[in-house]
């Protein structure tokens, strides 16, 4: 894979810049936008970017910081899902706490924002508290967003409990956008100044990249990634006016800046040091780009991926048609086609071939893998296994230089598993999915040297680009994700069943 980003340079630059910002205050509240861990979007659009770069930046500063996690009560109540992992926000908070502790970062507490005694949220609070996690409940801020005098008063931010912190850097993060990170930071600033402490606020948000052109595919890919939020990149007018310099930001930050500036000035009692929303950021990711052409191409591929992803979400009923239409407009803006994703045309050609060879086949499905070396591998569904499972076996045979005619999994292993699914578990779909096939392969590897060699090549699938001619089931999606395979699907359900689709 071609590299377009210098991770080491970025790590040093970002750590230094955060420390410079901290030196202006006794305590800095650092709002973290985007993914703190497993930032797969950044990894895809910036080849060479470490998906855990942010956590590594924080690890370098671990003795100086602690972490507050915010989650909006409404997101818990409606079981909002983090798309790239397929888990709900409450489960994401648990995962985040475990990952932060594993990286030796101190978790101060969890803040429930806009709490209104919702039953599911109260249950979540009980789970946290009974595991020894401190929980703070913040209700909707009185007077927000118009009445500054009430917002910055004991009735507004003052009504929130003060979160006791001990480190000079307090990172405020969340499972996703709209979780109340900013309100939590401002509430803390209010309490700090009431106590006579000099505290500050900054924002660490990777995208859009402020020092990359507005219409650069890297910044357009951010619009595609946040299409459900209707984020639009724009030139920061406040930065342009204050410094005569062009900087890229996005509509929500630009629109909120005048109010945010007034709130900070009301809290601190003096003019804000920030002249623009870009000033508030500490993002140095643009300085890590070492090959612009590589980043441009990677960003275009991400836009196509987002188009397919949003199309499938529309088909499933998760987003409205206008949201899907916006991804199509973004594609058109850059002159991109579905077939510019190499695996797409190969998967569709494979499906056409299946229909020609066996026109009586019902529910035909095909998938194509573009391996990191550029080689294309295809797979089709059969009565034994689904298309994704077949492609995995075909791919690791290729990587291990094993003849395609050789069977890696013995029928002696396959038949009892299929019988179990059919007769005992009474599954509607007897064909084995990716997880089941890999389990069967691992059993065969105990006695079959070929299977053992093939298993060792599973790690080489990381970075593979895949496209399927129908929407894959949740189990296959998760298994491919764990293998590091980037999947897209045509917005077609595999059957007409509403429930029995796995």
Indicate which CATH number applies to the domain containing 201: 3.10.630.10
Beta strands 233-235; 199-204: pairing state:
unpaired
Report if residue 220 sits inside a domain.
yes
Contact call for residues 341 and 435 (beta carbons, < 8 A): no
Q: How far is CA 240 from the centre of its chain?
A: 31
Q: Which pair of tokens denotes residue 17?
A: 């810049």
Q: Is 25 exposed, middle or buried (0-12, 13-18, 19+ CB in 10 A)?
A: middle
Report if residue 380 sits inside a domain.
yes
Report if residue 263 sits inside a domain.
no
Among 178, 137, 175, 129, which Cα is nearest to 159's? 137
Helix (H) or strand (E) holding 28: strand 27-32
Q: What domain range includes position 314?
A: 212-249+290-340
Report if residue 258 sits inside a domain.
no
Last residue of a domain, one of 277, 312, 340: 340
| Cα–Cα distance list, 471 to 353, 354, 462 (Å) | 19, 18, 21
Among 395, 352, 362, which Cα is nearest to 377's? 395
CATH number at residue 485: 3.40.140.40
Whether pTM > 0.85 for this model: the answer is: yes
Phi, psi at residue 82, to the nearest 5°? -80, 110
Shared domain for 173 and 92, answered yes or no, is yes
Report if residue 397 sits inside a domain.
yes
Shared domain for 454 and 473, answered yes or no, is yes
Shared domain for 219 and 362, answered yes or no, is no
Last residue of a domain, one of 186, 206, 226: 206
Local structure of 288: helix, strand or coil? helix
CB atoms within 10 A of CB 161: 12
Q: Mind listing the pLDDT tens digit of every residue in the chain (502 residues)?
A: 789 999 999 999 998 898 888 888 889 999 988 788 888 999 999 999 999 988 998 998 999 999 999 999 999 998 888 766 778 999 999 999 999 999 999 999 999 999 999 999 999 999 999 999 999 999 999 998 889 999 999 999 999 999 999 999 999 999 988 899 999 999 999 999 999 998 999 999 899 999 999 999 999 999 999 998 888 999 999 999 999 999 999 999 999 999 999 999 999 999 999 999 999 999 999 999 999 999 999 999 999 999 999 999 999 998 999 999 999 999 999 999 999 999 999 999 999 999 888 776 667 899 999 999 999 999 999 888 999 999 999 999 999 999 988 989 988 888 889 889 888 988 878 889 999 999 999 999 999 999 999 999 999 999 999 999 999 998 999 999 999 999 999 999 987 777 666 5
Shared domain for 42 and 125, answered yes or no, is yes
Local structure of 173: helix, strand or coil? strand
Does residue 18 have a cis peptide bond before it, meaning omega lies within 30 degrees of 0?
A: no
Report if residue 199 sits inside a domain.
yes
Shared domain for 235 and 185, answered yes or no, is no
Report if residue 271 sits inside a domain.
no
Shared domain for 23 and 172, answered yes or no, is yes
Contact call for residues 276 and 250 (beta carbons, < 8 A): no
Phi, psi at residue 293, to the nearest 5°? -65, -40
Gap between the Cα atoms of 314 and 380, Å rounded: 25
The alpha-carbon radius of gyration of the chain (Å, integer) is 25
Last residue of a domain, one of 206, 230, 257: 206
Shared domain for 302 and 371, answered yes or no, is no
Shared domain for 183 and 145, answered yes or no, is yes
Q: How far is CA 322 from the centre of its chain?
A: 22
Shared domain for 135 and 201, answered yes or no, is yes
Number of structural domains in the chain:
3
Place of tokens 């910055």: 152
Shared domain for 393 and 465, answered yes or no, is yes
CATH number at residue 243: 1.20.1570.10
Shared domain for 414 and 314, answered yes or no, is no
Gap between the Cα atoms of 46 and 220, Å rounded: 13
Local structure of 61: helix, strand or coil? coil
Report if residue 387 sits inside a domain.
yes
CB atoms within 10 A of CB 218: 26
Shared domain for 353 and 327, answered yes or no, is no
Phi, psi at residue 67, to the nearest 5°? -125, 135
């Amino acid at each position: 894979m071609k590299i377009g980003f210098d991770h080491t340079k970025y790590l040093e630059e970002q750590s230094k810049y955060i420390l410079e910002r901290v030196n202006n205050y006794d305590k800095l509240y650092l709002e973290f936008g985007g993914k703190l861990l497993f930032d797969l979007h950044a990894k895809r659009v910036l080849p060479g970017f470490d998906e855990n770069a942010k956590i590594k930046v924080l690890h370098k500063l671990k003795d100086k910081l602690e972490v507050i996690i915010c989650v909006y009560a409404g997101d818990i109540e409606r079981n909002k899902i983090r798309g790239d992992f397929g888990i709900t926000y409450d489960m994401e908070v648990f995962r985040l706490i475990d990952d932060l502790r594993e990286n030796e970062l101190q978790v101060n507490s969890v803040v429930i924002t806009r709490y209104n005694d919702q039953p599911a949220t109260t249950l979540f609070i009980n789970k946290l508290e009974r595991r020894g996690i401190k929980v703070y409940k913040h209700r909707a801020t009185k007077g927000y967003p118009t009445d500054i005098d009430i917002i910055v008063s004991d009735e507004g931010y003052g009504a929130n409990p003060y979160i006791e912190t001990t480190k000079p850097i307090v990172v405020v993060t969340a499972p996703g956008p709209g979780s109340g990170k900013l309100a939590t930071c401002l509430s803390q600033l209010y309490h700090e100044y009431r106590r006579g402490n000099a505290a500050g606020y900054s924002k660490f948000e990777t995208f859009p990249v402020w020092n990359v052109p507005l219409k650069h595919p890297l910044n357009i890919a951010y619009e595609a990634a946040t299409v459900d939020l209707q984020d639009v990149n724009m030139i920061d007018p406040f930065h342009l006016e204050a410094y005569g310099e062009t900087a890229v930001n996005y509509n929500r930050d630009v629109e909120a800046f005048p109010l945010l500036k007034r709130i900070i000035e009301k809290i601190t009692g003096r003019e804000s040091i920030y002249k623009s929303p870009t000033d508030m950021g500490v993002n140095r990711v643009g300085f890590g780009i070492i090959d612009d052409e590589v980043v441009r191409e990677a960003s275009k591929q991400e836009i196509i991926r987002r188009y397919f992803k949003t199309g499938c979400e529309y088909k499933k009923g998760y987003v409205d048609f206008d949201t899907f239409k916006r991804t199509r407009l973004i594609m058109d803006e850059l002159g991109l086609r579905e077939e510019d994703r190499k695996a797409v045309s190969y998967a569709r050609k494979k499906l056409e071939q299946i229909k020609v060879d066996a026109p009586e086949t019902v529910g035909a499905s095909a998938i194509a893998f573009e391996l990191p070396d550029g080689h294309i591998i295809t797979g089709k569904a059969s009565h034994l296994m689904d298309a994704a499972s077949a492609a995995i076996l075909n791919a690791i045979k290729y990587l291990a230089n094993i003849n395609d005619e050789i069977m890696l999994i013995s029928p002696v292993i396959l038949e009892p598993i299929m019988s179990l699914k059919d007769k005992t578990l009474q599954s509607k779909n007897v064909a084995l999915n990716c997880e089941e096939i890999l389990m069967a392969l691992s059993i065969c590897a105990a006695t079959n040297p070929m299977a053992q060699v093939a298993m060792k090549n599973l790690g080489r699938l990381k970075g593979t680009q895949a496209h399927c001619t129908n929407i894959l089931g949740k189990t296959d999606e998760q298994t491919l994700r764990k293998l590091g395979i980037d999947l897209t699907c045509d917005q077609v359900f595999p059957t007409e069943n509403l429930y029995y689709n796995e």
